[in-house]
Amino acid sequence: MIQPINTDIATLKRPAMPATKTDQQIVTDLLDTLKAHQDNCVGMAANMIGRPKRIIVYQLGPMQIPMINPVITTQSAPYQTTEGCLSLPGQRPTKRYHNITVRYQTSDWQTKTASFTDFTAQIIQHEIDHCDGILI
Ligand SMILES: [Zn+2]
């Protein structure tokens, strides 16, 4: 179900708790909510819909892809950029890495490790920061 976007800085700054199998509905809601905002949003974390669990989704072409309990295990090639966020006004400067490796669980709870580059890596870094209570 599409959920309203949380813009409350105090709750957004609280680190999210690990997600468990009872959080499957949050994964579905996050996918639905990103799909509803895909014209102006490329990723979303569960605390952006008011659910403080470590779940993110990102846009890859026409698809919305979930990651549960994502952790960045390696990162390289830092750069400075600016980003926007659906929960915050304006564009803000931030530091990202061109290359990252992420360990996470899929929506059917398989543990996976995958590497990402450039724009997709940037989206995932932004959303994992949300899980840690870090805002741009
Ligand atoms: Zn954001």
pLDDT confidence bin for 114, thresholds 50/70/90: very high
The mean per-residue pLDDT over the stretch 2-18 comes to 96
What is the C-alpha separation between 29 and 47, in angstroms, rounded?
12
Query: And the tokens for 61?
Result: 């072409």
* CA 88 / ligand 1 centre spacing (Å): 7
83 labelled catalytic: no
Residues with CB under 5 A from ligand 1 (ion): 85
The mean per-residue pLDDT over the stretch 131-135 comes to 97
Please report the beta strands in the chain, taking only residues with DSSP state E, as ranges in sequence order: 43-45, 55-60, 63-85, 88-105, 111-117
Say which of 48, 127, 130, 131 is annotated catalytic.
127
Query: And the tokens for 55?
Result: 């779940």
Q: Which of 38-42, 52-56, 115-119 has the lowest mean pLDDT?
A: 38-42
State residue 7's pLDDT score. 95
Helices and strands per DSSP (H, E), number in the chain: 3, 5
Instruction: Give the architecture (CATH level 2) of 9-131.
Output: Alpha-Beta Complex (3.90)
pLDDT in tens, 118-132: 999 999 999 999 999
Percentage of the chain beyond pLDDT 70 is 100
The mean per-residue pLDDT over the stretch 6-16 comes to 96
The answer to whether 47 and 57 have CB atoms below 8 angstroms apart is no
Q: How far is CA 114 from the centre of its chain?
A: 15
Sorted by where each begins, the domain ranges of the chain are: 9-131
* CA 48 / ligand 1 centre spacing (Å): 8
- Please, what is the average pLDDT of the chain? 96
